[in-house]
Structures are given as structure tokens and as C-alpha cells.
Amino acid sequence: MPNNLSIAIDKSVVAEMPVVEYPGGISAVTVVDTAAKAKMALRALNKCTHIGFDTETRPTFQRGGKQHKVALLQLSTGDHCFLFRLNHDGIFDMVRPLLENPNIIKVGLSVHDDFQSLRRRGPLEPAGFIDLQAYAKTFHITDLSLQKVYAIVFGERISKSQRLTNWEAETLTEQQQIYAAIDAWACLRLYRYLRGGYFHPADSPYIVHPDTQPS
């Protein structure tokens, strides 16, 4: 396989793909907004060797407007996703030991950006993280957004329709919960698939040739 192989995908191709459906639906998602729920979630997560990881922050629509702290931390076992509402008192302190545990692998995308956001909530020394962007590069994938990596590997589109919604709302809608769960679940699914050797770069239909350049 040539070392200069490059795999990328045009956004118009992604737009035509079927939308990812989250397995298990809303019953496979738990919103963690109390200490009791956090203890229950952490018991399940601490039994895992690998978990998917992502965060969400309330968007700011005005230039120079208030920069909000990260509101949501999503951690997926693969079968279930726990949504930790970090804007609720005490939740960040409870989940921090898991984020600092080097023995439980957390798989996310562009994780250093998440670390910066999480540190606005309190001290954090993250350990045991794999950045899916760096990992995907070893498979010659050069389009490194989660949506594009997922489309290249699985031929499905992750919807971004809820990205700019209010993650500090008193109650998260089912649509928000599913959206948030998919991102963490997708990171873990991609890592397991790539690590398992199921993706063969040389066979990808999205190999970039010198005369083409996806947008």
C-alpha cells in the first residue's frame, strides 16, 4: 500500500448517505444530573476497558459574547451512553477520577480541545485517552471530522441538526440526548472497527487521486 495514499470524502457525498440510527434509542441513554445517578453510571463505566468520549457546550451566537463552560460530558460503553450534566453542582468532581484513570481507555475526537473546555470546570489531569483523529491518520484518512471519518468507514451520515442547541436547558430533549449519545458511541465504534483490522484503506472507494480534491 503506497505511503502517500490519501482517503477523503466530499461533503456532497456525505449529504446523500443514510442517517445513522442510534442502537437502542432513548432507552440506551441516561441523563446524569444527580449524585445518585452519577454513582450508578460510574459503577457501570468503571467496569469497562474502553469507552467513547465527547462533550457539548452551549453555543454563543454573538461575536464577543459570553463563552459558556462545557455543559455535557458523554461517556459510552458501546451499549449505553451516560450524559453527565456538568452544569449541575458536584457532577464534574464525581466524574473526574474516571477521566484521570489511565487504565480505562477513553476514545474521542480532538480530545485536547475537550480538555481545555473541561479545565474551565476545575483541575484535570486527563489520562488514558486516544484521539481518534490521530488514530484515523494511521489508516490514511485525511478528512478528520467525526462526520467524515464515520462516513468513510461506515457509509452513513451523523446528523448535526442538534449541535447548536442549548445544552444548558433545564431539560434536554430526546433529540438532544440521541445526538449527544451518537457522537460518543460513534467514536468507540470507529476505534473498535479500525483496531480490529476491518477497514482496508486500499479498498476504500474514497481514495483521493491527484486530479480530484474533495470539499
The pLDDT value given to residue 58: 82
The pLDDT value given to residue 62: 58
- Per-residue pLDDT, averaged over 7-13, amounts to 96
The string of DSSP letters for 25-57 reads GGGGEEEE-SHHHHHHHHHHHTT-SEEEEEEEE
67 has pLDDT over 60: yes
b (16+ CB within 10 A) / e for 143-176: bbebbbbbbbbbeebbeeebeebebeeeebeeeb
167 has pLDDT over 90: yes
Sequence ranges of the domains in the chain: 11-203
Q: What is the mean pLDDT of the chain?
A: 93
pLDDT band at residue 160 under the 50/70/90 scheme: confident
Kindly report, residue by residue over 20-62, the tens digit of the pLDDT.
999 999 999 999 999 999 999 999 999 999 999 999 998 765 5
pLDDT band at residue 161 under the 50/70/90 scheme: confident
211 has pLDDT over 60: no
- Per-residue pLDDT, averaged over 103-107, amounts to 98
3 has pLDDT over 90: no
| CATH code reported for the domain at 11-203 | 3.30.420.10
Question: Where does residue 113 fall: left (phi above 0), alpha (psi -120 to 50 degrees), or beta otherwise?
Answer: alpha
Starting at the earlier edge strand, list the strands of the sheet with 70-76.
29-32, 81-85, 70-76, 50-57, 105-108, 129-131
pLDDT band at residue 155 under the 50/70/90 scheme: very high
Kindly report, residue by residue over 185-204, the tens digit of the pLDDT.
999 999 999 999 999 999 99
